[in-house]
A and B are shown apart, each in its own frame.
Chain A
Amino acid sequence: MREFFHRKLERSAIGFVLAIIGVSAIGGFVEIAPLFTIGETVEKAPDMRVYTPLELAGRNIYIREGCYACHSQMIRTLRDEVERYGPYSLAVESKYDHPMLWGSKRTGPDIARLGGKYSDAWHVAHLINPRDVVPQSVMPRYGWLMRSELKTEDLGRHLKAQRAVGVPYTDAAGRNRHLRLRDVELGHHPGPDVAHLQ
C-alpha cells in the first residue's frame, strides 16, 4: 500500500511549517485584501470631514480609557437598533478612524450618534458621577479627569502621524489647530481633559 501522504509530511519540519503558513494564509487573504480594492466597500460621502485636532485629542482620551469595552459605535442594520440609536452606521463614517472603535459589547448604550443629544453641562455632570444624573448607571466615575491636564503641545505630531496613515490633513489644518485650541482656552469649561465635550 502506498504510504499515506501525511506520514511523509510529518517527517519534514520545514515542510510542515510551510504547509501551516500556506493553509492558514488563505482565509485572511481572501477576506481582507478585497476590502482595500473593491470600491463599494466604503460609500462615497463628499461631506465627510476629518476630525478637528481637538476632537482627535478627545478621541484619544476615549482610547486611553478603554471606553470601547462598554460602548459600541456601530449601529447595526436592525430595526430596533435604528429606532433606539438612530440611522445605522456606514463604513464611510469611520474611514478616518485609526483604529476603528466599533466596540464589541454594550454594557452601556451605543454612542455613535450621541453627539448633540445631551447638553454639555449634562455630560460634565455625568462624567463626574454618572449616578448623579442616571441613578441606576454602573458607569465608572471620571471625576479625576477634572484634575488631569490635556496635553496639546504634541498635537502637531499627532496630525503628522495621522497623515502618515492616510488621513488627509492639510497644512491649513495645522494652523487651524491653534485657532480651535484658542477657542477652547477662551471658553468656559470646567477642566482641560473634558474640554472635548464643549
Chain B
Amino acid sequence: MIAALTIAERQRAIAISAVLALCGFAMTIAGSDTLFAVHGAIVLLFSLGCIGLVMSQYFAPEPSDERLTRYYDDPTRVGIVLSLGWAVVGMFFGVWVAALLAWPDLTFDAAWASFGRLRPVHTSGVIFGFGGNALIATSFHVLQRTTRARLPDQFSPWFVLIGYNLFCVLAASGYLMGVTQSKEYAEPEWYADIWLVVVWVVYFLIYIRTLQRRKEPHIYVANWYYMAFILVVAVLHIVNNLAVPISFGEAKSYSLFSGVQDAMTQWWYGHNAVAFFLTSGFLGMMYYYLPKRAGRPIFSYRLSIISFWGITFMYMWAGSHHLHYTALPQWVQTLGMTFSVVLLVPSWASAGNALATLNGAWGKVRDDATLRFMMVAAVFYGLSTFEGSFMAIRAVNSLSHYTDWTVGHVHAGALGWVAMITFGSLYALVPWMWKVERMYSPKLIEVHFWLALAGTVIYVFAMWNSGIIQGLMWRTYNDSGTLAYSFIDSLVAMHPYYIARTVGGLLFLLGAIVASYNVWMTIRMSRSQPEAEAGDADLPVLQGAALQAGE
C-alpha cells in the first residue's frame, strides 16, 4: 500500500501526520487533566501510528508511471475492511443496549458501561463507522469507473479515509468517557466536528477534481447521489454543530441555538442525515452495483432524474415531522408533514426503478444471494419510505412518536435498506477489488442473507408490536374517564418484545460476522493465487467499460 505511493506522497503523508501529531500534543497540553487531553493523546498516538506505518516502507522503491494507467483502489480495499470492522463493533453495541432494555443489570457498575453512553456508540458505530466507510470506499470505486478517470492523486483519498476514521474513533471514545453534545446523531464535540469539516472538504475536492478529469461527457446517476451526499451533509453538519466551547482547552461546548430554534435545526439535520447520508449515498451505491450485478441497464433514466431532484428538494422540508404537537409553530409542522407525504413519489420512483431494473433477471435474483441482498434492500427501501410518509402524518404521529414504532421504522431502513444494499454491494465489489473470480464461499453469503433477513423481520415486527401497544396504552381511558394504564404498565408490556428485538439484532450481528469472515477468507484466497488478469476490463483507458447516464 505504502509502496504504491510516490516518494513525494509519502513525504506529504508524514508531514500531514506530523502536523496532526502536533495538534494532538497541543490538545494534551491545553487540556491538562481533562478529557480533552485524553482525546489529544488519542490524536497524537493515532498520527504517530500513521507516521510509523509510512516510515516502515518509506525506502521501498517508487512505483512506475505504469500505475497511472490503472485505477487507484487501495483506499477502497482498506475502506471495505474498516467498514466491516465497524459493522461488527457497532452492531455488538446495538445488541448490548437492546439486551439492557430487557435485562437492565447486564452491565458493569461503571460510568462508561451505562446505557446512555453505550447507545451513541451503537448509533455512530453503525451509521458513521459502518455506513460512512462503506460510502467512502464504494464512492471512490464508482467515481473512477463511471468517469473513466483515475483519482487525482494518491494521498488525498487516504487523508479522507484515515481522517474520517479518526473522527469515528474520537466520537466513540468520547461517548464512553462522557464527551457528548447530546444532540442526536450529532453527538461529537466541537473539535471532532471541525476535524470532520476538514476531512469532508478534501473528500469533496477529490470528487470534483476527478469529475473534471473525466473521459465520459456525462456524469453518471450514481455520482449525482454521491455528490448530493457529500455536499448536503457538509451543510447540515456545519449548521447544526455551531457551538461555543467553554475554552479551547476543554471538550464542553454550548450549542449556538436554543429551544425551539435548536429543535428545528436539530431535526432538519437529523432527518436529512437520514436523507443524504442513509438514502442519497446508498442510492448512489445501488445505482451502480445493482445494474452491474444484474447485468441490465437502469430501467428508466427519466425516473432517476425525477427521483433524484425530488429527494434533493423535498427531504429538506421534512424534518419538522419529528416535532408534531410540540412547541414548534403549527405552520412548520404542517409544511413538514406535507412534504413528507409527497416525498413518497420520488422515493418510490427510486425503489420502483431498482426493481424494474431486475425485470428479466429474476432468475439471477433467485440464484445469486448477492443480487438478492440488493433486491431485498430495494423492497425495504420502498416499505420504509412508505412507512415514513405515513408516520409523518400528524394524526399517526400522535400515536407513533416517542414509541418503539419509530425505532422499528429506523431499523427497517437501517437494517433492511442501508445494511442490505451495503452487504450486496460489498459482495459484488470484493472479488473485483482483490482480483479473484468470486467470494470465498457463496454458501456463506446465502447463510448471511437469511440471517440478515430473519434478523430484520424479527426486529421490525417486535418494534411495531411494542410501539403500537405502547402508544395505545398511553392514550387508553377507562370508563370513569381517567387514564387506564400507568407508565410502568406499558413498560412491563414491552418486555417480551425487547427480548425478541435482542434476538433479531443478534441474528443480524451474526450475519455481519459471517460476512467479515467471508471477506477475510476471500482476501487470503487472493494472496495464495497468482496475479489474475481480471484487471483487464477495468482500465481507465478502455472504451465502453463505464455505466453511463441514460444507459
Question: Is A175 positioned at the interface, with any CB of B under 8 Å from its CB?
Answer: no
Q: Specify which of A13, A16, A92, A103 lies most central, judged by the most chain B CB atoms within 10 Å of its CB.
A: A13
Complex alpha-carbon distance, A59 and B239, angstroms: 23
Question: Is A141 positioned at the interface, with any CB of B under 8 Å from its CB?
Answer: yes
Question: Is B529 positioned at the interface, with any CB of A under 8 Å from its CB?
Answer: no
Question: Is B212 positioned at the interface, with any CB of A under 8 Å from its CB?
Answer: yes
Q: Are B262 and A99 in contact (CB under 8 A)?
A: yes
A35 CB contacts on chain B under 8 angstroms: 260-261, 264, 329, 332
Q: Are B111 and A98 in contact (CB under 8 A)?
A: no
With A17-B227, A35-B332: A102-B119 Cβ-Cβ less than 8 Å: no
Interface size bracket, B side: 35 or more
How near does chain B come to A130, taking the closest CB pair, in angstroms? 8
Complex alpha-carbon distance, A122 and B263, angstroms: 31
Interface digits, B236-278 against A, CB 8 Å rule (1 contact, 0 not)?
Answer: 0001000111110010111111111111111010001000000
Question: Is B502 positioned at the interface, with any CB of A under 8 Å from its CB?
Answer: no
A10 CB contacts on chain B under 8 angstroms: 218-219, 549
Measuring CB to CB, which residues of chain B are less than 8 angstroms from any residue of chain A? 100-102, 104-105, 107, 109-111, 114-117, 119-120, 175, 178-184, 187, 208, 211-212, 214, 217-219, 224, 227-228, 231-232, 235, 239, 243-247, 250, 252-266, 268, 272, 305, 309, 312-320, 322-329, 332, 335-336, 339, 398, 401-403, 406-407, 474-475, 477, 482-483, 487-488, 491-492, 498, 549-550
Q: Are A161 and B253 in contact (CB under 8 A)?
A: yes
Q: Are B114 and A157 in contact (CB under 8 A)?
A: no
Question: Is A70 positioned at the interface, with any CB of B under 8 Å from its CB?
Answer: yes
B180 CB contacts on chain A under 8 angstroms: 63-64, 66
Question: Is A97 positioned at the interface, with any CB of B under 8 Å from its CB?
Answer: yes
Q: Are A26 and B313 in contact (CB under 8 A)?
A: yes
Complex alpha-carbon distance, A103 and B116, angstroms: 13
Q: Are A66 and B120 in contact (CB under 8 A)?
A: yes
Q: Are A42 and B487 in contact (CB under 8 A)?
A: no
Q: Are B262 and A100 in contact (CB under 8 A)?
A: yes
How near does chain A come to B484, taking the closest CB pair, in angstroms? 10
A-B pairs with beta carbons under 8 Å apart, 20 shown:
A14-B208, A24-B232, A24-B312, A27-B318, A30-B317, A31-B335, A32-B264, A35-B261, A42-B259, A67-B182, A72-B402, A74-B327, A84-B487, A89-B326, A94-B263, A100-B263, A106-B403, A107-B101, A137-B104, A139-B104
Question: Is A46 positioned at the interface, with any CB of B under 8 Å from its CB?
Answer: no
Interface digits, A87-116 against B, CB 8 Å rule (1 contact, 0 not)?
Answer: 011111111111111111111111000000
Question: Is A178 positioned at the interface, with any CB of B under 8 Å from its CB?
Answer: no
Q: Which of A42, A94, A134, A161 contacts B488 (CB 8 A)?
A: A134
Main secondary structure of the interface of B (DSSP, over half): helix
Question: Is A182 positioned at the interface, with any CB of B under 8 Å from its CB?
Answer: no
A88 CB contacts on chain B under 8 angstroms: 327
A1 CB contacts on chain B under 8 angstroms: none
Interface digits, A170-193 against B, CB 8 Å rule (1 contact, 0 not)?
Answer: 000000000000000000000000
Closest to A56 in B: B254
Interface digits, A7-31 against B, CB 8 Å rule (1 contact, 0 not)?
Answer: 1001101101100110111111011
